[in-house]
Amino acid sequence: MIRIGAVSYLNTKPLICGLRERLSGIGKLSLNLPSRLAQDLAAGRLDVALIPSVEYFRATGYSIVSNAVIGCRGPVWSVRLLSRVPIQQIKRLALDEGSRTSAAMVRVLLSEMHGLSPETIPLAIDQTPETVDADAILVIGDRAMHPEHGVYEEIWDLGDRWCRWTELPFVFAMWVARPGVDTTGLAEILQASRDEGLRSLETIASREAATHGLTNEDLHRYFVENLHFHLGPGERAGLQAFQEKATALGLVDTPKSTL
């Protein structure tokens, strides 16, 4: 039985639509935070996982197994930098422990756009942004969608900042297999689930919206306007640019030659 891990956030719902049923008899699906999925894949506790793209850059022998991804081509809404001071004055940055790609992404953008290299501290999964002692806080996922109003000097949507700065899409996570795993037929299964999810966005939105404090219309718009679920040439170019920029900052040690 192939062990597959997926992200437990809202943005993953279209990718895993009907996936448990499609894996019946051949695999088992579990849900977790992006950073923990990367740890479990590296430790051999998972065979395939939807991991942060930066972890694909850092690993040896990993392979992308599907063109189903979580990405954006503009504002993403669920990845934000909340700054209590003007951006140029950020000296201490709290990074959401749930993410590794977004943590690298915000450091790249702050460095390239403003020449900043702030001290970083963790923001625990169960810690609210308001309680952390930092000039700015990176938050991801559901809690990034409703920042407290009137508290912050500036709020960045990191998808928007990346796409305007680089003129390229961004890929947050992708299905990756560790070395030696037989993934025959898995790409078709993962892509079929993604395609079913995209046909069922209204149903998914009506099922998930209220529990996350969103209207059905807000969540449907998030899926349709803020997220992109296909790995195409533009996304590969965005991944290449991200890898090069992260490597230049020392966030990735051994860049891959191809993506």
On the question of pLDDT at 103 being above 70, the answer is yes
Residue pair 159/63 in contact by the 8 Å Cβ criterion: no
Per-residue confidence band for 125, with pLDDT thresholds at 50, 70 and 90 = confident
On the question of pLDDT at 6 being above 80, the answer is yes
On the question of pLDDT at 254 being above 80, the answer is no
- The answer to whether residues 138 and 93 belong to one domain is yes
Q: Which domain holds residue 20?
A: 2-71+170-232
On the question of pLDDT at 255 being above 70, the answer is no
> Would you say residue 134 lies in a domain?
yes
User: Across the chain, what does the average pLDDT equal?
Assistant: 93
Mapped to the 3 state alphabet, what secondary structure does the chain carry? CEEEEEECCHHHCCCCCCHHHHCCCCEEEEEECHHHHHHHHHCCCCCEEEEEHHHHHHCCCCEEEEEEEEEECCCCCCEEEEECCCHHHCCEEEEECCCCHHHHHHHHHHHHHHCCCCEEEEECCCCCHHHCCCCEEEEEHHHHHCCCCCCCCEEEEHHHHHHHHHCCCEEEEEEEECCCCCCCCHHHHHHHHHHHHHHCHHHHHHHHCHHHCCCHHHHHHHHHHHCEEECCHHHHHHHHHHHHHHHHCCCCCCCCCCC
- The answer to whether residues 27 and 97 belong to one domain is no
pLDDT digits (tens, 9 = 90+) for 189-221: 999 999 999 999 999 999 999 998 899 999 999
Provide the pLDDT for residue 97: 87
- The answer to whether residues 51 and 118 belong to one domain is no
Per-residue confidence band for 36, with pLDDT thresholds at 50, 70 and 90 = confident
Last residue of a domain, one of 166, 196, 218: 166
- The answer to whether residues 177 and 66 belong to one domain is yes
The model carries a pTM of 0.94
Mean pLDDT of 128-151: 87
Residue 45, domain CATH: 3.40.190.10
Provide the pLDDT for residue 112: 97
Provide the pLDDT for residue 235: 98
Last residue of a domain, one of 119, 144, 166: 166
